[in-house]
Amino acid sequence: MDDKHWYCRKHDLVFKSELGLNAHYKLSPYHHYCCEEDFGDEDKLWDHLVVDHNACRDCHEVFNGYAKLQKHDHESHLRCTECDRSFQSESNLQHHLNSKLHRPSTVLCPGPQMQQVVCLVCSTHAPL
């Protein structure tokens, strides 16, 4: 394999292995590296982190799971993670989270099985 294969264009450096090049990417503050990819700039890296790694762009924190990101967004930013909407008060956020947008609705089934309710979100039947 040619040494130029493990080449960092940005720094004009040659590495002996892919492992060496990847270590350079990870350790260099001038590379925006994640998931074995250099994203080119910080904005593209944060786009990736927000979408794929439950990151908060405002705080530059990555959370271990979507539920923890949601909790952080609710408590620290008064933001609904699912809608990407921010609110001016805790009560406004709670009102939004309790609205029909986030609570599935049910109605009595109009068909022959009137002893059941139907979920308007997924259209399934459930016994009363």
Closest among 116, 120, 112 to 128, alpha carbons compared? 116
Q: What is the pLDDT of residue 63?
A: 92
More confident site: 112 or 127: 112
Q: Tell me: the pLDDT tens digits for 4-58?
A: 578 888 888 888 888 888 888 888 878 888 887 888 888 998 899 998 999 998 8
Q: What is the pLDDT of residue 44?
A: 92
For the chain, give the mean pLDDT: 79
> H/E element holding 74?
helix 66-77
Label residue 35 left, alpha or beta by phi (over 0 means left) and psi (-120 to 50 means alpha).
left
Sketch the domain layout of the chain as residue ranges.
Answer: 3-102, 103-128
Query: Which residue in the block uniquely carries the two structure tokens 């927000």?
Result: 50
d(CA 98, CA 109): 24
Percentage of the residues of the chain whose pLDDT score is greater than 90: 16
**pTM of the shown model:** 0.57
